[in-house]
Amino acid sequence: MLKGKHILLGVTGSIAAYKAAVLCRLLRNAGAEVQVVMTATAKQFITPLTMATLSKNPIIVEFFNPENGEWNSHISLGEWADCYVIAPATANTIAKMATGVADNLLLTTYLSARCKTIVAPAMDCDMFAHITTQTNLTTLRNHGVVIADSPAGELASGLTGKGRMAEPEQILDLIAKTLNSEKKKSLQGKHFVVTAGATIEAIDPVRYITNHSTGKMGYAIAKSLAERGAEVTLVTGRTALATPAGVKRVDVLSAADMYRAATEAFATADGAIMCAAVADYTPAKVAEHKIKKSDDDMAIELVRTKDIAAALGAVKGDRLLVGFALESDEGVKSAQSKLKRKNLDFIVLNSLTDKGAGFGVDTNKVTFIDNNGSQSLPLMSKSDVAESIVHKIEQHYAHPTQR
């Protein structure tokens, strides 16, 4: 979720400092690099050793190392960070941030950091409710700081009310959301069609032929494209998934419906990502009434559906077309011939034999294949695979000559 991101974690002197240790571990597990800055008082609540061990980096408290005079530059810390998270943030630190006081490294770093800052307040309920604290929080909000909502609950003082620090899991989500909304709008002005999910081919009014696709991969791609500013038309078979923010969703049932919707949307699109598991065959006739069973066996005559990817490939010109392939054997060879046959720019190969890849699961292990060769990626979450695919799409536009 936060692979390769640089998170600067500021810890101030509050009982909730123990939750900073949990947040630090969650950040590392999400793939982030973490550097911890503490105030002198924070050290009385949680040891530098704990934070250094969890963050896998020495923690920084002073402007310079008293042992050797080495300077801890708040400027380079601020430049290094993709996000500065101050959790827990005491009323004292919040007040200083709101007024520009810079009497410790945590605060000078705040003033010089160019990245987004997130503050998770932690204090007693009366301090939190005090007009001064609330005014300071409003000032910080107006300055573009994101405030992690403080939930009501039991406080260290024994009182109950608002003021507790948000839970580390909530802060982690907020960091991911904040960094996502900061994503470069690198695909602004582009329109993509994404097909996703399984089609449903009716046999009669009750029965149908379908497959195990859940649509997760296609929805993750639609989300990543939209986050980069692209206009996205998601042509989707039936799924249980929520429509990603900013995405136009067109619901379809059969392969023929998907063909119509996808070709129509592609007419005004810059590219298409064909992620749907489209039925290759459909019943030759749909029975008008429910077919009655008898003691005999029965056969259903199936006819070929149209290949949507190939149809778009035939008219695409220099537009981008990405396909998927799910193979149980001879993956690369077969994907290469599909690449040519359907006129795709690149193909994402999932192997049915790889553990953790394919239908239903949240992870995927894929290989990108294009005319220049192949690139195998490790097992990743589907949202990370989507990010990698969208990154390849960004590169396609950044280096058009390498197509």
Question: Measured between alpha carbons, how far is 357 from 240 in angstroms, rounded to an integer?
Answer: 20
Residues 6 or more apart whose Cβ sits within 8 Å of residue 67: none
Please work out the total of residues on this chain that contact ligand C5P, with binding judged by CB under 6 A: 14
Query: Could you tell me which stretch among 168-176, 181-189, 275-283, 384-392 binds ligand C5P (CB under 6 A)?
Result: 275-283
Cβ 212 to ligand C5P, closest distance in Å? 14
Task: Fill in the per-residue mask, 206 to 245: x = in contact with ligand C5P (CB under 6 A), - = not in contact.
Answer: ----------------------------------------
Task: Fill in the per-residue mask, 328 to 347: x = in contact with ligand C5P (CB under 6 A), - = not in contact.
Answer: ----------x---------
Cβ 308 to ligand C5P, closest distance in Å? 3
Cβ 246 to ligand C5P, closest distance in Å? 23
Q: What is the DSSP string of 94-125?
A: HHHHHHT---SHHHHHHHH--SEEEEEE---H
89 binding ligand C5P? (CB under 6 A): no
Quote the strand ranges of 187-227, DSSP E: 191-196, 201-202, 208-209
Nearer Cβ to ligand C5P (32/274): 274
Q: Residue 312: helix, strand or coil by DSSP?
A: helix
Question: Measured between alpha carbons, how far is 267 from 235 in angstroms, rounded to an integer?
Answer: 14
Task: Fill in the per-residue mask, 300 to 329: x = in contact with ligand C5P (CB under 6 A), - = not in contact.
Answer: -----x-xxx-------------xxx----
195 binding ligand C5P? (CB under 6 A): yes
Residues 6 or more apart whose Cβ sits within 8 Å of residue 55: 9, 24, 28, 34, 35, 36
Question: Order of strands, edge to edge, in the sheet holding 346-351?
Answer: 247-251, 231-236, 191-196, 271-274, 320-327, 346-351, 366-370, 373-376
Cβ 309 to ligand C5P, closest distance in Å? 4
Say which of 57, 92, 211, 343 is annotated catalytic.
211
86 binding ligand C5P? (CB under 6 A): no
Question: Measured between alpha carbons, how far is 90 from 78 in angstroms, rounded to an integer?
Answer: 21
274 binding ligand C5P? (CB under 6 A): yes
Task: Fill in the per-residue mask, 240 to 269: x = in contact with ligand C5P (CB under 6 A), - = not in contact.
Answer: ---------------x--------------
Cβ 364 to ligand C5P, closest distance in Å? 14
Residue 393's nearest CA partner among 356, 344, 351 is 344
Nearer Cβ to ligand C5P (247/347): 347
272 binding ligand C5P? (CB under 6 A): no
Q: Rounded to a whole number, what is the largest CA-CA distance in the chain?
A: 91
Task: Fill in the per-residue mask, 146 to 185: x = in contact with ligand C5P (CB under 6 A), - = not in contact.
Answer: ----------------------------------------
DSSP lists the bridge partners of residue 249 as 234
Neighbours of 209 (CB within 10 A): 17
Q: Estimate to the nearest angstrom the gap between the alpha carbon of 238 and the chain centroid.
A: 22
Phi then psi for residue 7, to 5 deg, are -110, 125
Verify whether residue 72 is a known catalytic residue.
no
- Which of 276, 357, 385, 389 lies at the binding interface for ligand C5P (CB under 6 A)? 276
Cβ 321 to ligand C5P, closest distance in Å? 9
Nearer Cβ to ligand C5P (54/389): 389
Q: Which residues of 171-198 are buried (b: 16+ CB within 10 A; e: fewer)?
A: bbebbbebbeeeeeebbeebbbbbbbbb
Cβ 395 to ligand C5P, closest distance in Å? 20
Residues 6 or more apart whose Cβ sits within 8 Å of residue 166: 87, 120, 148, 149, 150, 151, 174
Cβ 316 to ligand C5P, closest distance in Å? 13
Give the residue numbers marked as catalytic. 211
Q: Which residues bind ligand C5P (CB under 6 A)?
A: 195, 255, 274-276, 278, 305, 307-309, 323-325, 338
